[in-house]
């Protein structure tokens, strides 16, 4: 496959690390990146080392406590020598989109329909290419489906939920299902030890807190950093989640693998330790054509970080989507639909 030229919207934890991973991957060239107040573009390929150094501490996009290197108007992407300040970063990326094969939308948990609306803006501007997000909310998938005709008409291939879970583990479930003619249960259980702590992973931690009892995405969005730190403290840094509304369920259902209610997602997040508090595992139980019942298992090494398991797959699905896009295969897809058919 020819080189894939891509942009990243958002330079929080996920966006920044995807840029970093891409420097070690063949066949992908980052040519644009933006955050709320800046955009960097280089059609010959961004100097990621310089960009990352300049945006270090930029994870909250608001000049939080970690933003030691820059402040004010020139914090974040704008602090890079390759960048310019802007108040319309998404429009500015859209303006460059003729040159793009793919855009990774790595924006934090804003309104439910924020990412669908961003997709629509690309479609309205005549962008033909791939959009990938790493969202985690089941209900957002439906909002993307509502816009499928618009995206398809524009020539956009949209992959939703292409991080770790949903994403990597959804794909693993889809593959593990191949032994079976009927899938009875998919159990996704993740462990994350955030080496870099809350301050370097604000978007992810906030998104996860929205899954705790008593919180939802709206209330989590309103929390101050201090309130989040308090919640984390109250749990001694270890947050355990059960029955999460994590889009794996609807993504496996739309691929025809099982019903959404047969999918359970949970996990443990430790923001105070390098070590994963539990092993990330996908278990798929089903019935074989010859009348047996079994459980296939996919297990990630405890030494692979959340960042590695989000950003590798995000780029992997992005590449798969570019291949489809180039043959005129447009529309909205989940990760499981980019796997062997069930």
Q: Which residues bind a second copy (CB under 8 A)?
A: 1, 17, 20-21, 24-27, 168, 171-172, 175-176, 178-182, 256, 288-290, 292-305, 307-309, 311-313, 315-320, 323-324, 327-329, 335, 338-342
27 versus 142: smaller Cβ distance to a second copy: 27
10 Å Cβ neighbour count for 247? 28
225 versus 302: smaller Cβ distance to a second copy: 302
Which of the residues 120, 128, 207, 253 is marked catalytic? 207
324's tokens: 């489809």
CB of 190 to a second copy, least distance (A): 13
Is 69 considered catalytic here?
A: no
C-alpha gyration radius of the chain? 19
Is 136 considered catalytic here?
A: yes
105 versus 255: smaller Cβ distance to a second copy: 255
The CA distance from 95 to 75, in Å, is 23
83's tokens: 């960048």
The CA distance from 14 to 135, in Å, is 11
1 versus 110: smaller Cβ distance to a second copy: 1
239 versus 318: smaller Cβ distance to a second copy: 318
Closest CA to 42 of 87, 96, 90, 94: 96
Distances in whole angstroms, Cα of residue 82 to Cα of each of 50, 52, 74: 8, 11, 12
CB of 308 to a second copy, least distance (A): 4
Cis peptide before 166 (omega within 30 of 0): yes
Is 207 considered catalytic here?
A: yes
10 Å Cβ neighbour count for 226? 7
Which of the residues 37, 120, 128, 211 is marked catalytic? 211
CB of 257 to a second copy, least distance (A): 10
The CA distance from 118 to 123, in Å, is 9
Closest CA to 141 of 153, 133, 149, 152: 133
CB of 17 to a second copy, least distance (A): 7
**H/E stretch holding 141:** helix 138-146
CB of 177 to a second copy, least distance (A): 8
* Catalytic site positions: 136, 207, 211
């Amino acid at each position: 496959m020819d080189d894939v030229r891509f942009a990243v919207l958002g330079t929080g934890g996920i966006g920044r690390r995807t840029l970093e991973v891409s420097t070690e991957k063949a066949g992908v060239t980052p040519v644009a990146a933006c955050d709320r107040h800046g955009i960097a573009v280089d059609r010959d390929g961004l100097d990621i080392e310089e960009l990352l150094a300049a945006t270090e501490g930029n994870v909250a996009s608001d000049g939080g406590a970690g933003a030691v290197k820059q402040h004010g108007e020139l914090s974040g992407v704008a602090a890079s020598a390759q960048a310019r300040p802007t108040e319309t970063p998404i429009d500015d990326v859209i303006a460059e989109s003729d040159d793009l094969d793919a855009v990774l939308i790595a924006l934090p948990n804003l309104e439910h329909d924020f990412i669908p609306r961003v997709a629509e803006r690309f479609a309205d501007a005549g962008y033909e290419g791939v959009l990938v997000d790493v969202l985690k909310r089941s209900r957002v998938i439906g909002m993307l489906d509502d816009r499928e005709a618009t995206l398809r008409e524009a020539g956009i291939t949209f992959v939703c939920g292409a991080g770790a879970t949903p994403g990597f583990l959804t794909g693993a479930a889809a593959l593990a299902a191949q032994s079976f003619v009927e899938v009875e249960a998919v159990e996704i259980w993740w462990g994350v030890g955030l080496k870099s702590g809350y301050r370097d992973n604000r978007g992810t931690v906030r998104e996860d807190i929205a899954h705790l009892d008593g919180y939802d995405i709206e209330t989590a969005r309103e929390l101050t950093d201090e309130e989040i730190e308090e919640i984390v403290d109250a749990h001694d840094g270890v947050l355990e989640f059960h029955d999460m509304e994590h889009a794996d369920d609807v993504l496996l259902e739309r691929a025809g693998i099982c019903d959404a209610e047969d999918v359970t997602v949970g996990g443990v997040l430790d923001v105070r330790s390098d070590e994963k508090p539990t092993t990330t595992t996908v278990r798929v139980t089903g019935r074989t054509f010859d009348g047996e019942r079994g459980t296939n298992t996919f297990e990630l090494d405890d030494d692979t970080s959340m960042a590695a398991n989000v950003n590798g797959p995000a780029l992997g699905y992005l590449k798969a989507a570019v291949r489809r896009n180039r043959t005129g295969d447009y529309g909205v897809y989940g990760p499981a639909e980019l796997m062997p058919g069930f």
